[in-house]
Amino acid sequence: MLVLAVFTIYSCNKKVNVSRGAEKVEPGLFLELPDFCPTPDAFSIAPDGSLILSCPNYAEKTVRGTIIKIRHDRSVINLGPVPGIKPSTFGAPMGIDHGPDGELYVCVNQGADNGSILKMTFKQDTLIKTEVIAHGINGPNGLKVKGQAIYVTTPKLPKIKGEKNTSGIYRFLLSDRNVHVNNDFSDPNLIFTTQTDNPVRQFGLDGLAFDQEGNLVAGDFGDGIIYRLELSEQGRVIGEKVLADLPDSTGIDGMLFDSKDNLFVVGFSQNQLWKIDKKGNSSMIVQSPDTNGEKGGLDQPVDLVIFQEKIIISNFDLMTDPDMVNTAHDKPYTLSYLYF
């Protein structure tokens, strides 16, 4: 039986009551990634049941961003670099998800105000077609497909001036093509914005997921706030509430719901995994020290997915800012796991 202890965290004048399991949960090593994926990021499950992973590869400037495929036997295929907007250029893939059409939708970064959302069609593990859903986006990050629409987070919208950072969520249709984004309130596809209070980390909406009722849930990386957004049939935000408020030092990033609507969220900055129930009660279930990940410890966790009855977690292992546990980018490049 898991015994829970309740404790209080004070962070940037914010008091947060959370519970943590008295039994420590230790993640294991799922996979050491090859050298062509030194910076693993986001997951999606392909129609054939394999695991797809984006690798923006910010850590190694000589390694192009790529998409890889992980088979059930844990063998890895490099599906190749991600095209940029201009011919003969390449981008850094971040958030990914498969649509009901079985195709892969990808957030691609290629410099300020130059990100894009791509539809990538593969046949027998070969890219045969790339279509541009939207372009001109500033740093698109998280991406989820729901029905016939794509939802994308942008942690920074610097064209919206103010003392605090503004971030937002965009909505595009799967059928959209070449939508130009202005990165301000003039964009009809911008359905939600918020401001980040934390002066130490002015970085906003990042991870996102849908609960069993169809609500869109998204986390503010800098403030540790997780929003639950009620959507209309047209995909517009008609209701907003705070589902959970974690310490602002957490660096909440990728998230997923299980079948009971428990939300699992990675803590990028503190090497953590959190569980939040439907009532918003939060518990920290994993916290790893600074590590190189060789034994499976969380090493700047960035996204997670359920695969082979396990929670698989990607370890970004790149940023070394003073408010983060990670102190170095180093080998091995890893995916961690916990039994689900």
Q: What is the mean pLDDT of the chain?
A: 94
Confirm whether 156 is domain-assigned: no
Instruction: Read off the pLDDT band of 86 (50, 70, 90).
Output: confident
Question: Average of pLDDT values for 7-32?
Answer: 65
pLDDT of 87 reads: 85
Q: Outline where DSSP puts E strands in 13-164.
A: 14-21, 28-33, 43-45, 51-55, 66-70, 76-83, 90-98, 104-109, 115-123, 126-137, 143-146, 149-154
Tell me the whole-structure pTM to 2 decimals.
Answer: 0.94
> In CATH, what number is assigned to the domain containing residue 68?
2.120.10.30
Confirm whether 26 is domain-assigned: yes
Residue 49 or 16, more confident: 49
End position of a domain, from candidates 168, 189, 210: 189
Overall number of domains in the chain: 2
Is 45 in the same domain as 89? yes
pLDDT in tens, 230-241: 999 999 999 999
End position of a domain, from candidates 136, 163, 189: 189
- Cα 271 off chain centre by: 15
Instruction: Read off the pLDDT band of 61 (50, 70, 90).
Output: confident
pLDDT of 23 reads: 59
Q: Is the pLDDT of residue 317 over 80?
A: yes
Confirm whether 167 is domain-assigned: no
Confirm whether 161 is domain-assigned: no
Q: What is the dihedral of CA 159, 58, 90, 256, to 10 degrees?
A: -70
CB neighbours (10 Å) of residue 180?
A: 9
Instruction: Read off the pLDDT band of 14 (50, 70, 90).
Output: low
pLDDT of 50 reads: 99
Is 16 in the same domain as 51? no
Is 4 in the same domain as 87? no
Confirm whether 80 is domain-assigned: yes
Is 23 in the same domain as 51? no
- Domain residues for the domain of 104 are 39-145+177-189
**Encoded tokens for 196:** 């980040």
pLDDT of 116 reads: 98
Give me the percent of the chain exceeding a pLDDT of 70: 93
Is 224 in the same domain as 267? yes
Q: Is the pLDDT of residue 167 over 50?
A: yes
Instruction: Read off the pLDDT band of 246 (50, 70, 90).
Output: very high
In which residue are the tokens 């998204």 written? 218
Instruction: Read off the pLDDT band of 102 (50, 70, 90).
Output: very high
Question: Average of pLDDT values for 57-85?
Answer: 96
Instruction: Read off the pLDDT band of 290 (50, 70, 90).
Output: very high
Is 44 in the same domain as 185? yes
In sequence order, the 6+-apart residues with CB closer than 8 A to the CB of 165 are 155, 156, 157, 158, 195, 196, 202, 203, 204, 222
Q: Is the pLDDT of residue 3 over 70?
A: no
pLDDT in tens, 45-59: 999 999 999 999 999
Is 5 in the same domain as 113? no
Is 221 in the same domain as 327? yes
pLDDT of 25 reads: 87
Is 12 in the same domain as 114? no
pLDDT in tens, 170-221: 999 999 999 999 999 999 999 999 999 999 999 999 999 999 999 999 999 9
pLDDT of 142 reads: 99
End position of a domain, from candidates 135, 164, 189: 189
pLDDT of 8 reads: 47
Q: Can you tell me the distance from the alpha carbon of 232 to that of 79, in angstroms, rounded to the nearest whole number?
A: 37
Confirm whether 158 is domain-assigned: no
Is 339 in the same domain as 238? yes
Confirm whether 215 is domain-assigned: yes
Question: Average of pLDDT values for 18-26?
Answer: 62
Is 112 in the same domain as 246? no
Is 182 in the same domain as 300? no
Instruction: Read off the pLDDT band of 340 (50, 70, 90).
Output: confident
Confirm whether 287 is domain-assigned: yes
